[in-house]
Each structure stands twice: as structure tokens, then as C-alpha cells.
Amino acid sequence: MTLPEGPCVFEPLRDQDKKAFSCGVRELDDYLYLQASKDSQRKVAAPFVMLDRGGWILGYYTLSSYGINASELPPDVVKKLPRYPLLPATMLGPLAVSSSQRGKKLGRLLLMDALHRSWKNTLQVVSVGVIAEAYDDSARPFYLHHEFVPLADHPRMVFLAMRTIEKSPA
């Protein structure tokens, strides 16, 4: 997988101005303001931000490790995997774009960066795929639009196989 050059810069969350960001969803804004840095310090989640050339946050997402029961994965994915009860996966946590920047393909760019980073990480720590958790039912179609498939027993979770990400041109 290759990532196209874009107008934005991606960095780990550090001391960028978090309060200037708003995606319009209270829970996701609060997560960035109050929790993301703590999760990073405690090694619970790795937050990444998308910045414009002036250093303002345009969007963010988090990545962490996850274990998934084979029975929860789609049958066509499981049949190509060994019968281990628990399989390694990558969790894509909250993902959000500034409400002032909607519809400019920044959400797609943010997702592509998350998938590219997840795939690069498998060179060191493997993962059968990326699981994304939508914060509510209205957010799930964004992932389904980008080839994720629903996970059994988890109405808000979706899955994209690492083999699919690896083969993706961008």
C-alpha cells in the first residue's frame, strides 16, 4: 500500500492546540481534549493528528492492539486463517475531521493514513486486520463505504482484512 502526497501532515499527538479542534460530536471532541494524551502516556492508545500547513489540527484518530475471537470475523476471512481462538488485530478508535472541513476528502485521507500506518506496523507486530468502532450508528456507513465489513455480534464494529489493505493501491 502506498499513500499519496497530500496537503496535510500526520504526526503523533503531542502539544498541538487541541482546543481549537471541533468535529461537532461532543464525545469525540472531549476524547481529544481530555483523554487522548492520557491514553498515549498509559500505552492504551496511540493518537495521531492531521495538521494543516499552519500546524492546526484538521483531524485525528487512534490505533491500539486488539484480540478478536475467530468466531466474530467474517467466514470468508476465517477460512484462510489458522484455528486459533484469539487472533491479533489492530483497533482503529475514534476518527474525526474538523466540522469546518467536511466533504473535502480529509476523512478519507485520515482513514488512508490510519490503514497505511496499521499495515506498516505489521512488519513488526502482526495483525489480521483493522477493526474500527463507530461512535454511533450514523458513523458506521463511513467505514462500510470504504470496504469495511460488519462484525458479527458487534453492531458498531467493522473489519477490513490486512491482506486487502496490503493489496490496496492507496
Ligand X SMILES: CC(C)(COP(=O)(O)OP(=O)(O)OC[C@H]1O[C@@H](n2cnc3c(N)ncnc32)[C@H](O)[C@@H]1OP(=O)(O)O)[C@@H](O)C(=O)NCCC(=O)NCCS
Select from 11-19, 38-46, 102-110, 159-167 the region that touches ligand X (CB under 6 A). 102-110
Q: Is 55 in the site for ligand X (CB under 6 A)?
A: no
Q: What angle do CA 92, 28, 74 make, to 5 degrees?
A: 30
Q: State the nearest-atom distance from the C-beta of 99 to ligand X, in Å.
A: 7
Select from 29-37, 43-51, 88-96, 116-124 the region that touches ligand X (CB under 6 A). 88-96
Q: Which residue is nearest to ligand X (CB)?
A: 107
Q: State the nearest-atom distance from the C-beta of 70 to ligand X, in Å.
A: 25
Query: Judged by CB, which is closer to ligand X: 44, or 70?
Result: 44
Q: Is 120 in the site for ligand X (CB under 6 A)?
A: no
- Determine which residue in the list 57, 68, 106, 151 makes contact with ligand X, applying CB under 6 A: 106
How many residues bind ligand X, per CB under 6 A?
20
Q: Is 103 in the site for ligand X (CB under 6 A)?
A: yes
DSSP bridge pairs for 116: none
Q: Is 142 in the site for ligand X (CB under 6 A)?
A: yes
Residue 170 is which amino acid? Answer: A
Q: Is 107 in the site for ligand X (CB under 6 A)?
A: yes
Residues 39, 24 contacting (CB under 8 angstroms) = no
- Determine which residue in the list 57, 87, 94, 118 makes contact with ligand X, applying CB under 6 A: 94
CA distance 45 to 38: 9
Half-sphere exposure (Cβ direction) of 118: Cα atoms closer than 13 Å: 34
- Pick the closest to residue 72 from 155, 170, 144 (CA basis): 155
CA distance 4 to 1: 10
Torsional class of 147: left (φ above 0), alpha (ψ -120 to 50), beta (otherwise): left
Strands 9-12 and 46-51, sheet pairing: antiparallel
Q: Which residues here bind ligand X, judged by CB under 6 A?
A: 23, 25, 28, 94-97, 102-108, 134-135, 139, 141-142, 145
